[in-house]
Structures are given as structure tokens and as C-alpha cells.
């Protein structure tokens, strides 16, 4: 099964069935044409509890290692990753504006 990038945009992302945010961008390494991360706009609750941010709308890059086969699955409601909220910080890093 193949998906188009537009099918990912604005879809919900869940960690162990708890909504953590929405996909806003897909990051690609132009040298080897591989997807490197998904840029996710985190919910206010997740941004605060996982990152200590005091506002909503915080975007972070979700590493593709969180999307490996058996760890992530696509459902009708969006992307489900089998990562606990406590482990989520290991897969996130701030978006660097260029």
C-alpha cells in the first residue's frame, strides 16, 4: 500500500491511543530521498506534560524511528504509535527554522 503525502497532512497522531497532535509537514533528506521525520503540532496537554511548554501549537519533529514497522500503524483516525507518553520525549526534537 502506498500513500500520498497529502493523505498525512492534518491527520491526528496518537501515542497509545491518546491524541498527541497533528501531522503538519513531512521532513525528507534530499541526499538519499528518505523521510526523516514528521513535523507534529502537539496538543497543549502533551506540549506541557512532555516538553514543559506552557502554550499550545508547539511543533516538534517526530523521528521516523517511532514509525518503524510494528511500532506504528495507520488507522482511519490517523497515525497510531506504540510509544508511551513518558517515552515520547525520546522521539521528539524542536523544529529548527531555517
Query: How many domains would you assign to the chain?
Result: 1
Q: What is the pLDDT of residues 39-58, one digit of tens each?
A: 999 998 888 888 888 776 78
* Cβ pair 28, 39 in contact under 8 A: no
Name which of 13-27, 34-48, 66-80 the model is least confident about. Answer: 66-80
**What percentage of the chain reaches a pLDDT higher than 90?**
29
Please tell me the pTM assigned to this model: 0.84
Cell representation of residue 71:
511500532
Domain residues for 41?
5-94
**Phi, then psi, of 32 in degrees rounded to 5:** -120, 5
Rounded Cα gap, residues 1 and 19, in angstroms: 24
Dihedral pair phi/psi, residue 91, rounded to 5°: -105, -5
Does pLDDT of 98 surpass 60? no
Tell me the mean pLDDT in the region 81-92: 87
Cα angle vertex 39, ends 70, 86, to 5°?
55
| CATH, residue 54 | 2.30.30.240
Amino acid at each position: 500500500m502506498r500513500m500520498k503525502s497529502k493523505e498525512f497532512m492534518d491527520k491526528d497522531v496518537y501515542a497509545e491511543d491518546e491524541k498527541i497532535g497533528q501531522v503538519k509537514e513531512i521532513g525528507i533528506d534530499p541526499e538519499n530521498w528518505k523521510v526523516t521525520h514528521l513535523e507534529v503540532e502537539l496538543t497543549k496537554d502533551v506540549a506541557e506534560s512532555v516538553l514543559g511548554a506552557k502554550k499550545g501549537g508547539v511543533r516538534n519533529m517526530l523521528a521516523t524511528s517511532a514509525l518503524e514497522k510494528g511500532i506504528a500503524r495507520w488507522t482511519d483516525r490517523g497515525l497510531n504509535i506504540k510509544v508511551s507518553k513518558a517515552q515520547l520525549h525520546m522521539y521528539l526534537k524542536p523544529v529548527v527554522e531555517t
